Structures are given as structure tokens and as C-alpha cells.
Amino acid sequence: MPKLCLVTLGCPKNVVEGEHMAGIIEAGGWEITTDIRKASAAVVHTCSFIADAADESAHVINVLSGLRKQGKLQKLIVTGCMVQEKGKALAAQFPEVTGFIGTGGLERITGLLGGGTEQCFLGGAPGGLLESVHPRILSSTLPSACLRISEGCNHKCSFCLIPRLRGPYVSRPVGSLIDEATQLADNGIRELILIGQDTTFYGRDIYGRFALAGLLKKLCRIRDLKWIRVLYAHPASVTRELADAMASDEKICAYLDMPLQHVSTRVLRAMKRPLNTRKVLLLLKKYLPAISLRTTFITGFPGETADDFSELYDFVGEGWFDNLGVFEYSPHPDTASAAIKPGVALTIARQRKRKLMLLQQKIVAGKNKLRAGSTAETLIEKPVGAPKLNRWMGRTRFMAPEIDGCIIVKGKTAPGEFVNATITGAAGYDLRGEIIQ
């Protein structure tokens, strides 16, 4: 069988698509390898949501283009958001690439692999590999997997390309999601992570109402699932019903990732974002007092003044968030925010980002100090150092994979195991603990 190396870049939504493409490619007669030296073909599934992601995608394409130029790759295909954004201009930029597919045609990957070596471009309407009818090869050996409940977005945030890259919001039917989640659980998955461009909008397009709360309750009935986690909530669609549902079953982690982007009313209006930030946070804390919140903010948005940033800084200082990410504003000519004046210098945006992150470090240090002596259910991910040292890296219920901190524990266990650990201390964003035997 010919071998193919698949490189997936970007967010967990891209990872799930990469897993489905791997399944489609394997079903088409290819063997997937992680060793580019053994591959006769390669696929790069790109991200271009922000400038750094686009730069990373371009760098990987350049490296693999060099291998093809040297005759080490017969075919090189580029897929995903960068193709959808740049269109055929990308084909001219990378002449060594044999095929391009936008977000709406990923299931056609084997057709390109089976074709000739002349450059081919498959464009079309935006979308994504959404339904579970496509085979999927999980990329992790751990008992964690993402369940993609929707595609696209109906919001009109002035800085965001998602509607252009992924199209309007499309929810998957509940039955389809329950079937896929059951299959994942039957194959050893114990942590299910719900993802989408906006998970809390789920169901509005096909059921006429927000339906995430009902979906969560049905997922909890799947016996072998242990943790259910929700990422990418939107403050405009977080409801009392959702908070009640999250509090109703211990399988649902008291954790919510909800990007807020800013808190200044003036900046939020320019961003075309909801203004109910504090109201939503108070609702969640009222019905889920122990909830762990993660968010992201943007510094340097056009027109952001020193007073706007001070308001954001003071808000973060109130200690709402266990985990926080900050991005400098990434301008793009095809977004509405590109026309907003005056701009903010990148050096100022970076200074503000650094100031926020230093503040959050102090907040996390205080929160972690209060956790000392408590017990945390922990999913073991991998050994730290030699296995005989019995030191392991894991995650608690209030830590999402890849984006949050971790807990380093001591004791006898193995990757994929769920253990209880006593928290003994912390180092930066990470905790330390001892496994309770």
C-alpha cells in the first residue's frame, strides 16, 4: 500500500476533520504514516484563522514543497481554511502542490490522490466534514475524543473570518450525535469533548431553540462515558437551562470555555459582540459555584484606548477565570474591523497582552494555593521522565487538553487511567499531586 503523511494544523475542529480524512484516505487504499520519509504523498490540512496560524500553514507547505521538488514526494495536497480563504491565489503561490481542496469538499480527497500530478483546484461553497458517516481514525491513544456537534457560524463578529471559511451554522441531529458518541464509548473513549464554532447555539437552526442542554442530558445516559466537556460557548446563548443541565450530572465537567474577547462596551460594540458578559458569568457562578471558566481576550483591537484596556485589566483582576488566553488583534482585509480607525500599534497590543498574562499568573497562583490538600480526579496522559520514577502528567476535570495546564502526580498508574490525587502544590500554571492508592 502507498504511504501518506497527514499534517493537521489548527484547532480541535480541524483535528476531527483530519481524523475523518485519515479514515477516508485509508479506506481509499493508502496507509497513514507519521514518518514523512516513508511517505510518497502528503496532505496539509491548514488553518488561517489568525496571522500566526496562516504563517504556520504556509511554512509547512513550503517545507513539504521542497521535498516534492527534490523528488521525495509524488503528490502534495493542501486542504482546509487557507484554501477556502485565498482561493486560486494559493495555487499560484505554491506551484509544487498538486491539489487544493476548500473546506466544503474534503470528502473528495481520494479523488485527488488517485489523479495525475498536474495541479488541480477544488473550490466551492464553505463547509466541513461534519457527519459521522465518514470513517474516522482517532489520532490519540488516550480515552479522549472530540464530538463535533455543528459547523459554521451565524454571528457577524467584525474581526472574524469563520462565516466566510465555514459557512452558516449547521447543527447535527441529536440522533447522529448520540450514535457517534455511543460508538466512541464502545471503542474505549471515556472523555467526550463537545466542539463547534459555537456550541451553545446548537439546535437553533434545526429545532428552533437552543438544544445543548438536552443533548448533554442524553449523552450522560451513555454508560461508559466518564467525563463530558464543553468548549467554544458563546455568551449570547448561555442559558439558565444549560447551567442547570451542567449541574445535573457529575459526568459533565464543571468547566466551560467561553471566549469573551473584551469587556469594554465600546470595544464590544465595534467587535459586534454581545454586551452581557457580567450577567452570564454571574448566572454560571450562581448555578454552578464550582465551575472552572476559560476565556480568551483580544488586545489591540482598532480603537482600543488605554481606558478600554484598563477596564479589561480590572475585570480580569476580579478573578473570574481559571484559564485565560490573550491574542493580539490580527488584522485581515476581508473583515469589517479592517475599516475601523484608528489602529493600535502591535507593540502596544503586545504590551497589553503581556500585562494581562502576568496578572492572570498571579490569579492562578492564588487559586492553585487554595487547591492544596484537596482531591482531584485525574486522567493520566503520559509518564514524566523514566517510567520507574512513577511520575505522570495528567489532567483534572478543570483542565482541557492542549490549552490548559496539567497536574504532575506520583504513584503507580498508567496512561489512560483515571485516578484520585491529592494536590500537594503548584508550579506556575501546573499542579503537583500524589496518587491516592
DSSP secondary structure of 314-331:
HHHHT---SEEEEEE---
Residue 406: φ, ψ to 5°: -140, 180
Q: How far apart are the C-alpha atoms of 356 and 300, rounded to whole Å? A: 12
Compute mean pLDDT per 10 residues along the chain, 437 residues long, and list them: 96 95 96 96 94 93 96 96 94 95 95 88 90 90 95 96 95 97 96 97 97 98 97 96 96 97 97 95 95 97 98 97 95 92 96 98 94 96 89 96 94 95 93 94
Q: How far apart are the C-alpha atoms of 326 and 262, rounded to whole Å? A: 10
**Within a domain: 228:** yes
Domain that holds residue 409: 372-435
What pTM was estimated for this model as a whole?
A: 0.95
User: Of 370, 385, 418, which marks where a domain is finished?
Assistant: 370
Instruction: Indicate the number of domains in the chain.
Output: 3
Domain check: are 210 and 317 in the same one?
Answer: yes
Domain check: are 263 and 340 in the same one?
Answer: yes
| pLDDT score recorded for residue 299 | 98
H or E element at residue 56: helix 51-69
Task: Residue 387: give its domain's CATH number.
Answer: 2.40.50.140
User: Of 319, 346, 370, which marks where a domain is finished?
Assistant: 370
**Within a domain: 134:** no
| pLDDT score recorded for residue 170 | 97
Domain check: are 325 and 377 in the same one?
Answer: no
Q: How far apart are the C-alpha atoms of 222 and 53, rounded to whole Å? A: 36
Domain check: are 355 and 251 in the same one?
Answer: yes
CB 96 within 8 A of CB 68: yes
Between the CA of residue 320 and those of 165, 256, 273, 280, 314, what are the distances in Å?
32, 12, 19, 12, 11
The residue behind cell 464590544 is 268
| pLDDT score recorded for residue 405 | 92
Task: Residue 230: give its domain's CATH number.
Answer: 3.80.30.20
Domain check: are 298 and 361 in the same one?
Answer: yes
| pLDDT score recorded for residue 15 | 96
Task: Residue 76: give its domain's CATH number.
Answer: 3.40.50.12160
Domain check: are 94 and 226 in the same one?
Answer: no
Give all strands (DSSP E) within 102-221, no chain letters. Answer: 120-122, 144-148, 150-151, 170-171, 191-195
User: Of 370, 398, 414, which marks where a domain is finished?
Assistant: 370
Domain check: are 161 and 71 in the same one?
Answer: no
| pLDDT score recorded for residue 132 | 80
Domain check: are 236 and 183 in the same one?
Answer: yes
Question: Residue 284 is placed in which grid cell?
Answer: 454560571
Domain check: are 246 and 165 in the same one?
Answer: yes
Domain check: are 358 and 247 in the same one?
Answer: yes
| pLDDT score recorded for residue 130 | 85
Give all strands (DSSP E) within 266-417, no chain letters. Answer: 292-299, 323-328, 375-383, 391-396, 407-410
**Within a domain: 179:** yes
CB 280 within 8 A of CB 260: no
| pLDDT score recorded for residue 21 | 97
Domain check: are 223 and 207 in the same one?
Answer: yes
Domain check: are 260 and 169 in the same one?
Answer: yes
**Within a domain: 269:** yes
Strand 252-257 and strand 292-299: the pairing is parallel
CB 102 within 8 A of CB 122: yes
| pLDDT score recorded for residue 309 | 98
